[in-house]
Amino acid sequence: MKILFLGTGTSTGIPQIGCECEVCKSSNSKDKRLRSSVLISDEDKNILIDCGPDFRQQMLNYDIKHIDAVLLTHHHYDHISGLDELRSFTYTQPMPIYMEQNVADSIKRIFPYCFGENRYPGVAQFDIKIIDNTPFDILGRDIEPVRVMHYNLPILGYRCGNVAYITDMLTISDEEEEKLKSLDVLIINALRKNKHISHQTLQDALNVIERVSPRKTYLIHMSHQMGLHDEVSKQLPENVYFAYDGLQIDL
């Protein structure tokens, strides 16, 4: 299995429009972050987690030729607004997209032209698969959802084997946190150092990491307020890393 970080930034991306801070003005490529998304590759099958506004650029950046299935965590714009661009992968058959019912309802409102009997020729074709917080299978891979709270919005993270992907989390119950035990790799959000109404801080993420004790952890969904990649990386505990766009993990 391979995991490619297509984007590791929060909803504004880095650089943020109009910002003159040292992170947004940095020349270090690791400080330039598209909206968060990963590609899980296994035996020539590609599973995408989230499909935000940078999807087209991400596919071109890393020369991705096919997507076999998509997992969505929730319906916020920075996680679903690239779905229209899936048209390039759905000319011959619809794309299987796994999501909760409330996410499907939002997508049908946002992309009404992709649904119905008289669709415009060439639009993306979606094969919506409704899931809940129970395990399911994608392309022979067992997927275990992980319920987390994005402020007061219930959303899903996913565990695939000994890898888990959690984004936009503020809190998690003790029961759901048990699903994050015995991981080789935990990918989890850490927005910034200061408190935020709907996202974990860096310290919040480190507290979760300490409790579940994965072998390695990669932090995602950072804002420019986290600080410079190289400087803040020196403050992280052993086996905890800031992910960056283009990073690939081989498992």
* Contacts of range 156-159, beta carbons closer than 8 Å, 24 or more positions apart: 156/73, 156/74, 156/100, 156/131, 157/73, 158/49, 158/71, 158/73, 159/183
pLDDT at 138: 96
pLDDT of residue 121: 85
Distant-in-sequence, close-in-space partners of 43: CB < 8 Å, separation ≥ 6: none
Instruction: List, in order of start, the domains of the chain with CATH numbers.
Output: 2-245 (3.60.15.10)
Which residues of the chain fall below pLDDT 50? Answer: none
User: What is the pLDDT at residue 43?
Assistant: 86
pTM of the complete model:
0.97
CB atoms within 10 A of CB 91: 9
* Cβ atoms < 10 Å from Cβ of 151: 13
- Strand 248-250 vs strand 240-242: parallel, antiparallel, or unpaired? unpaired
